[in-house]
């Protein structure tokens, strides 16, 4: 349980934490969509997902480093699992960006990512011998089924081949989310075994440093560092969106760590989950996505699964809260 801190009352701390997460990540999602929907004067579009990850991770490294200096760095942290976890995490994020670059719409990508408990459950069933309740299976079915219904209920046709690549990348992103979750558990075990307790900004700095290094190597290998810089030089308006996107990510991460430091993880889960629903709705209303009534049924089904998952966490896991 976080120690009682003098100063602000809990309600004010929650307002700061949740408000910061909502503000930063709602804008983050909007900017990410703008980056991949942007069309240059010559008809070209931005497809350098790994180059984008380099800049996003770099912003987080800078903020993480400053935070780590202010809060004091923890010595003796085992770096190997940070490297593996960072590589898996940046690959998951790059796959989400590649899904958008390949024509998958932002609402569908965001709803699909809300189903990340599916690969986590699959991994736990296959590797960990876990068991789940009927309700948990229904929640996964509702989110995945709802997302599928939304994709069928889109009024605008065309681009089926690029959208099928988009679906492939979002599935890859979900698989990598499951892998990342497994590595993060191992990371916690290894740090405990080494007798060190990394602070929030230690996690932010080291994870993002390895995310950045992984992204630099892959972006360099794919030639995205040069093509990304060239595209941004030729289209300065997209560069400002990318810079704001990277900053929103770093600021949002800081608010996430602030919330973790002051509240139970369940509170954070509730805030980030409801944020995804609002991101989807904002995108539909502000970015001109037209949905049929079938599409709206899918949105309702997916959201009901998300809210049900949140509710079961609130009621079922309270005794284990720390």
Q: What's the rounded mean pLDDT across residues 146-161?
A: 62
Q: What's the rounded mean pLDDT across residues 110-121?
A: 76
pLDDT range class, residue 10, cuts 50, 70, 90: confident
Has residue 52 got a pLDDT over 50? yes
Per-residue model confidence (pLDDT) at position 284: 83
Buried b (16+ CB within 10 A) or exposed e, 151-168: bebbeeeeeeeebebbbe
Alpha-carbon span 1 to 98, nearest angstrom: 39
Has residue 48 got a pLDDT over 70? yes
Task: Choose between 121 and 97: higher pLDDT.
Answer: 97
Alpha-carbon span 148 to 144, nearest angstrom: 6
Has residue 240 got a pLDDT over 50? yes
Q: Specify the residue for token string 């602030």.
A: 258
Angle (nearest 5°) at CA 174 between 144 and 169: 100
Q: How far is CA 290 from the centre of its chain?
A: 25
Question: Which tokens is 117 given?
Answer: 């408990």
Q: Specify the residue for token string 């990410």.
A: 32
Q: What is the mean pLDDT of the chain?
A: 84
pLDDT (tens digit per residue) in 71-101: 898 888 888 888 998 999 999 999 999 999 9
Contact 270, 78 (CB under 8 A): no
Per-residue model confidence (pLDDT) at position 208: 95
Alpha-carbon span 296 to 204, nearest angstrom: 37
Alpha-carbon span 47 to 29, nearest angstrom: 17
Which is nearest to 118 in space by CA: 67, 171, 50, 158? Answer: 171
pLDDT (tens digit per residue) in 161-203: 557 899 899 999 988 988 887 788 788 888 888 888 888 888 8
């Amino acid at each position: 349980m976080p120690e009682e801190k003098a100063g602000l009352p809990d309600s004010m701390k929650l307002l700061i934490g949740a408000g910061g997460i909502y503000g930063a990540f709602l804008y983050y999602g909007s900017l990410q969509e703008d980056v991949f929907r942007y069309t240059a004067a010559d008809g070209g579009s931005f497809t350098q997902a790994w180059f984008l990850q380099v800049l996003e991770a770099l912003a987080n490294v800078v903020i993480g480093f400053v935070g780590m200096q202010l809060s004091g760095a923890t010595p003796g942290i085992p770096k190997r699992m940070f490297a593996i976890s960072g590589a898996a995490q940046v690959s998951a994020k790059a796959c989400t960006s590649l899904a958008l670059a390949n024509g998958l719409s932002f609402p569908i990508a965001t709803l699909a990512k809300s189903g990340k408990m599916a690969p986590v459950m699959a991994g736990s069933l296959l590797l960990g011998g876990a068991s789940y309740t009927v309700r948990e299976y229904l929640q996964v079915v509702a989110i995945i089924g709802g997302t599928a219904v939304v994709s069928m209920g889109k009024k605008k046709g065309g681009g089926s081949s690029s959208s099928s690549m988009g679906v492939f990348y979002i599935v890859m992103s979900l698989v990598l989310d499951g892998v990342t979750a497994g590595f993060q558990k191992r990371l916690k075990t290894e740090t405990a075994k080494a007798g060190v307790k990394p602070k929030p900004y230690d996690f932010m700095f080291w994870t993002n440093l390895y995310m950045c290094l992984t992204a630099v190597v892959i972006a360099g290998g794919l030639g995205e560092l040069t093509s990304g810089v060239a595209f941004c030089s030729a289209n300065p308006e997209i560069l400002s969106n990318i810079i704001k996107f990277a900053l929103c990510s770093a600021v949002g991460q800081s608010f996430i760590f602030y919330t973790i430091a002051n509240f139970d993880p369940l509170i954070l889960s509730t805030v980030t989950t409801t944020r995804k629903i609002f991101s989807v709705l904002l995108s539909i209303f502000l970015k001109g996505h037209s949905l049929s009534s079938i599409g709206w049924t899918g949105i309702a089904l997916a959201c009901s699964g998300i809210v049900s998952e949140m509710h079961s966490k609130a009621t079922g896991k309270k005794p284990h809260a720390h």
